[in-house]
Structure 1
Amino acid sequence: MAGTGLAGPVVAGETGPMRRGLVLIVCAQVMWGLSPAFWRLGIEIPAMDMLGHRVLWTFVTVLVIHLVRRSLRSVHTAARELRTRALEALAGVLIGSNWLVWVWAVTNGRVLEGSLGYFITPLVSVVLGVVVVGERLRRAQWAAVALGAASVIWLTIDMGGLPWVSLFLAATFGIYGLMKKTVNRPPLDMLTIELMVILPLVLVFLGTRLINGQDALVSASGTEYIVLLGSGLFTAVPLLCFAGAVQRVPLSVIGVIQYLAPSTHFLLGVVAYDEPFGGGRLIGFVLVWTGLAVFTLDGLRSVRSSGRVTGWRPLGQRGQVG
């Protein structure tokens, strides 16, 4: 037997899948973490155009994947269920609006606000668990939520207004993650249905823009073509990597590694994009980081004491959406 440290003993024969899973989750987090750099390549493209092309080409990408895997039948079966259609319709709206605000934030010098949003998402998920599902929190979890709330209050005072980008990203992603837990379908099938829901509106929007000669592709540079046409792969690949990792790696390990993406966002915002980061904003982030540290350590302690690794997922999500 060989120990994993965080997740208990692992049989030697399982180290191969575990290693592949770790590679997959790190690849997913690196792609999500570097997403600001990718979207900023199209900084001159209007956010709505970017969203429209992202939805369109992501749908094309997942459709090709389904055709290769011959798995369209499972999508058809899922889409026939009224409850699934209703939930995925709302999920499609949530994911679309989340993508829109994230791309807008990245291309308008607000990467740090976006980073904060994804840092506080696990705390929002905890609150949703209490309010919607009726979960009971341990004292350490309440302390983590209180620190997250203190961060938002502090930043509101420091900025002279609510950090709406952070709150919107955290709320939409938190609700999105909660909804995904209620639909027992493969992630790729669910993403396909979500895209199908908003695709008609996207086609109308892009078609109108194209007819009027205003679509981003009409006047795009070479780099902007790469961003627009490559947005589908850039969206689908990390999601598939994450889905593959979940099947091979304990969720306690995934939960810790998932902080890699917002941490990368933070570093890009401060170092690469030189966004304002004074003492007031630093205090806000320190409050969130402290809350996350309390939350993560409490989760790991709970996992070790129970001897199980399947019941704790710090971000409360199936993946990132950046």
Structure 2
Amino acid sequence: MPSEPSPAPRASGFAYAIAAYLSWGLFPIYWKQLAQVPPLVVIAHRVVWSFLFVAGLLTFARRWPEVKRALSQRKTLVALLVSTALISSNWFLFIWAVNTGHVLEASLGYYINPLLNVVLARVVLGERLRPLQLVAVGLAALGVLYLTVGLGVLPWVSLLLALTFGFYGLVRKMAPVEPLTGLAVETGFAAPVGVLFLLLVPMAQQGQLFAGTVRESLLLVGSGVATALPLLWFALGAKRLRYSTLGFIQYLAPTGQLALAVLVYGESFTSRHAVTFALIWTAVLLYAADSVRGSRLGGTPVPVTKPRRTQSA
């Protein structure tokens, strides 16, 4: 395995990752339209319609044999069970945060997440950072710490969002399965639970497909595409990029969420938020500049990733 992904996959990895994180940055707009629907009901619809959408893609591409192979391999099966639990928890918490006026806390969680990615990349994947990249990580960490201290309380929503998505990304990067196949298995695991919830739990009656307004019903059905496509793009990007690099691209999502929280939904933006924003984006620019410089020098100064059979080249 080469120490750095080759230029073509790396370029497509950037494109996929940017598309995923821009989509997630605008997600509050979508979920705010379903504020009258209980979060658990929304999650149930998300997993059901996501599975149907992904199943359609698999059928069109004739890739169901890949799903069968993934289910027959114990290591892959366990990894995808874990990733299903992580992403389902993350979905629920994010929707709850958006629809209860905690978009800023959600955005803080996704500001913390890239720092967690860097730690996981170093500890688990063996990735190393150059000196300027370490400075960038330090600046970003300082910004997050400054904002966290300013809140005056433990930001549990932010921390849980960061932890669930950080470990989800790590599991998906290491799992020996193609992104579409993995997503099909994940949504396939969760879909039966969603169907049973909608059919059997009284609270779900408010959010079933034909019990609400036509607009809400269409949004619930559309949540499958809105959920599956960014996840697929994310998985494709994760397979092609260093995990630490992926973490810094992730700042696009919380920045979009922060902008929506302040400019659209009227949540307060203090001087502490401004300082945090400045520190984090300075870090992003430093990291990006050093990555470009390293690429021009051939990407050889520092070995990046220990060879693993479970990672894509």
- Shorter-chain TM-score range: 0.7 to 0.9
Quick one: distance in 1 between partners of 2:7 and 2:24? 30
Query: Quick check: 2:180–2:232 contact (8 Å CA) kept in 1?
Result: yes
AA partner of residue 123 (structure 1): L
Q: Match of 2:215? A: 223
Q: Does 1:234 align with 2:236?
A: no
Query: Quick check: 1:8–1:304 contact (8 Å CA) kept in 2?
Result: no
What secondary structure does 1:274 align onto?
coil
Q: Match of 1:121? A: 113
Task: Report the Cα offset of residue 22 of structure 1.
Answer: 8.5
What secondary structure does 2:35 align onto?
coil
Task: Report the Cα offset of residue 199 of structure 1.
Answer: 2.9
Q: Match of 1:138? A: 130
Quick one: distance in 2 between partners of 1:100 and 1:206? 15
What secondary structure does 2:124 align onto?
helix
Query: Quick check: 1:299–1:312 contact (8 Å CA) kept in 2?
Result: no
Q: 1:213 to 1:46 in 2, by over 3 A?
A: closer
Q: Match of 1:42? A: 34
CA RMSD of aligned residues (A): 3.6
Q: Match of 2:190? A: 198
Q: 1:124 to 1:9 in 2, by over 3 A?
A: closer
Q: 1:243 to 1:266 in 2, by over 3 A?
A: same
AA partner of residue 299 (structure 1): S
Query: Quick check: 1:152–1:163 contact (8 Å CA) kept in 2?
Result: no
- Gaps of at least 5 residues in structure 1 are 1-6, 11-17
Q: Does 1:278 align with 2:262?
A: no
User: What does 1:158-307 align with in structure 2 at a 5 Å threshold?
Assistant: 158-209=150-201, 213-217=205-209, 219-240=211-232, 259-307=251-299
Q: Match of 1:74? A: 66
TM-score, length-normalised on structure 2? 0.80
Task: Report the Cα offset of residue 59 of structure 1.
Answer: 0.6
Query: Quick check: 2:206–2:212 contact (8 Å CA) kept in 1?
Result: no
Task: Report the Cα offset of residue 249 of structure 1.
Answer: 11
Task: Report the Cα offset of residue 247 of structure 1.
Answer: 9.7
Which stretch shows the higher mean deviation, 95-104 or 251-260? 251-260
AA partner of residue 196 (structure 1): G
What secondary structure does 1:306 align onto?
coil
Task: Report the Cα offset of residue 208 of structure 1.
Answer: 1.6
Residues 188-228 of structure 1 show CA distances to partners (whole Å, capped at 9, x for unaligned) of: 10011112233333233222226974544454122211221
Query: Quick check: 2:118–2:243 contact (8 Å CA) kept in 1?
Result: no
Quick one: distance in 2 between partners of 1:194 and 1:33? 23
Give the fraction of aligned pairs with identical amino acids, expressed as a percent.
Answer: 39
Q: Match of 1:101? A: 93
Residues 252-274 of structure 1 show CA distances to partners (whole Å, capped at 9, x for unaligned) of: 99888664443322221111111
Quick one: distance in 1 between partners of 2:238 and 2:168? 18
Residues 161-198 of structure 1 show CA distances to partners (whole Å, capped at 9, x for unaligned) of: 12223322222222111112212321110011112233
AA partner of residue 220 (structure 1): G
AA partner of residue 196 (structure 2): V
Q: Match of 2:145? A: 153
TM-score, length-normalised on structure 1? 0.78
Quick one: distance in 1 between partners of 2:97 and 2:106? 7
Query: Quick check: 1:252–1:300 contact (8 Å CA) kept in 2?
Result: no
Q: Match of 1:61? A: 53
Residues 229-256 of structure 1 show CA distances to partners (whole Å, capped at 9, x for unaligned) of: 1100111233445667889999999888
AA partner of residue 63 (structure 1): A
Q: 1:58 to 1:9 in 2, by over 3 A?
A: closer
Query: Quick check: 2:139–2:279 contact (8 Å CA) kept in 1?
Result: yes
- Gaps of at least 5 residues in structure 2 are 306-310
Query: Quick check: 2:24–2:230 contact (8 Å CA) kept in 1?
Result: yes
Quick one: distance in 2 between partners of 1:124 and 1:118? 10
What secondary structure does 1:181 align onto?
helix
> In the comparison of the two structures, how many residue pairs are matched?
299
